[in-house]
Amino acid sequence: MADDGSQNGKGGGGNGPLGDLVKAESMIQLAIALPAGCLIGWLIGAWLDQHFHQGWISIAGIVLGAVAGFVQIFTTASRFLKNSK
């Protein structure tokens, strides 16, 4: 328990089974970030379309969700690459 990698302040990103789980979680997070951002943006945009009787807000929501997903992907990837050095 004392050798689980969380004692060094990096949140368990070391070697061993716990470090492998952290890496796998980061990869899953990368795979889900863009579709989740687009879906959430589309849902909020569709709700705003109905509320304001417009037809373009859902498209803007999808675009903003995609941008947010890409930002999350780049943030996670840069953190992963920094920790792997």
Cα(71)–Cα(73) distance, integer angstroms: 5
Residue 22: how many CA atoms within 13 Å on its side-chain side? 19
Q: What is the pTM of this model?
A: 0.72
CB 58 within 8 A of CB 84: no
Give the span between the Cα atoms of 81 and 85, in whole angstroms: 7
Tens digit of each residue's pLDDT (9 = 90 or more) over 44-85: 999 999 999 999 999 999 999 999 999 999 998 888 788 777
At 13 the three-state DSSP class reads coil
